[in-house]
Amino acid sequence: MSDAPMIAQKAPYKGELEAGKVYFWCACGQSKNQPFCDGSHKGSTFVPTKVIVEESKTAFLCGCKHSKNGAFCDGTHKSL
């Protein structure tokens, strides 16, 4: 696995996140359970990002793995 994350998709993943529930967002792009971690990063320098929201909400999680906003989409995929 390289130092750069694999682009899982050039669009965000829309999903419903429940208040207080713990999620682990895939940072490497290799997970088969996108946008969430399935452990595919093991043996690399990547670690999943822990996400907990205070209120249940619809979220747009980064699919390109290059967001400067952590697990949440910031539109970076538009320039890749």
Render pLDDT for 44-57 as a digit per residue (tens, 0 to 9). 999 999 999 999 99
Give the mean pLDDT of the chain: 96
pTM of the complete model: 0.93
pLDDT category, 3, cuts 50, 70, 90?
A: confident
Tens of pLDDT, residue by residue over 26-47, are: 999 999 999 999 999 999 999 9
**For residue 60, is pLDDT > 80?**
yes
Residues in CB range of 79: below 8 A, 6 or more apart: none
Neighbours of 44 (CB within 10 A): 14
pLDDT at position 1 is 61
Q: Two tokens at 77?
A: 């995929």
Q: What is the DSSP letter of 62?
A: -
Q: What is the DSSP letter of 48?
A: P
Residue type, 16: E
Look at the chain and report how many structural domains it folds into.
1
